[in-house]
Structure 1
Amino acid sequence: MATAAKAKLLLRELKTVKADLAFSKERCSQLEEENRILREARDKGVKIIPELNHTTVLKSIKSCQ
């Protein structure tokens, strides 16, 4: 494969990886915010829906790292 073609392929792959990373960072930020809200609610004694509990959010955040 010609060097120019390889460079073009690598550039395309780099752009894809950068986009994936940006998406992952944004999703992790959303999960961290949701986790903060859930912790504050729990501390105030608000009953939390089981599917959105603290452990589930933490697992989601850890999977992003």
Structure 2
Amino acid sequence: MCGVEGCNKPAERSFNIKQVSKTSLSLKDPSARQIHLCKEHYKEFKKETKTDRSLDQVY
């Protein structure tokens, strides 16, 4: 199940809580170590972290 508040769709990917907490997504369990995201929220997560991920690739 997706770890975003109000979403009950099946999870596609999982990420570290530190990565997801930098976004505007409201989480069901902010104390969890891993957050599972559905396809829709994964797409939103990618859009919000695009610049961070491109900077990480450079270094």
Q: TM-score range by the shorter chain?
A: under 0.3
TM-score (norm 1): 0.25
RCO comparison, higher one (Cα < 8 Å, 6+): 2
Largest Rg, 1 or 2 = 1
Higher strand share: 2
Higher helix share: 1
TM-score (norm 2): 0.26
